[in-house]
Amino acid sequence: MLINKSPRVIFFSGFLVCAGLMVAALYFQYVMHLEPCPLCIFQRLLVIGAGLILLAGALQNPGVLGQRLYGGMIALDASLGAAVAGRHLWIQSLPFDQLPGCSYDFDTMLEKFPWQKTLKLVFEGTGECAKVDWTFLGLSMPGWTLIFFTGLVGLGMMLVFSPVGKPR
């Protein structure tokens, strides 16, 4: 059971899941040649953010207060990730005539616009964000990342409200 594990094991296990997701994302991009849309890239950044928080927690092996702080950061990052994945799923569910038009790719947005406008354009989504290139068990990639981020929110909240191990 998760509650009986040491904080280091829990944090490192979460980090390994995030690392696995990034390996899968890079496999889809470079082996299967599925180019990520701006919302996909933003979800990747949030997976990396969660992974770094989890790795820091594994390296530090915090006491109760540290677990609560790391848990809160994980829950916040994962909540943002769930919001982006949910937005992506919503765009994928739109009828063809209501899809947003195509826009710049993410790198071009970063080069041409200030970060505020880039962020706004990313969240508006583009026509390419509506394209479903891959599914597994009936869910597209944003569907699976939404499940992942929801699980991470749960992990973060568990650490906030029920830290594991002995108090220091």
Domains and CATH numbers, the chain: 2-161 (1.20.1550.10)
**The predicted structure's pLDDT at residue 1:** 43
Alpha-carbon torsion (93, 150, 128, 111), positive or negative:
positive
> Under a CB-based contact definition with an 8 Å cutoff, are residues 150 and 83 in contact?
no
Q: For the chain, what percent of residues have pLDDT higher than 90?
A: 45
Q: Record the pTM.
A: 0.77
pLDDT per residue as tens digits for the range 52-80: 999 999 999 888 999 999 999 999 999 99
**The predicted structure's pLDDT at residue 121:** 61
| DSSP calls for 54-96 | HHHHHHH---HHHHHHHHHHHHHHHHHHHHHHHHHHHHHHS-G
Residues 101 and 114: their CA atoms lie apart, in Å, by 21
**The predicted structure's pLDDT at residue 125:** 52
Q: Show the low-confidence residues of the chain (pLDDT under 70).
A: 1-4, 95-113, 115, 117-130, 132, 134-135, 165-168
pLDDT per residue as tens digits for the range 131-142: 767 667 877 888
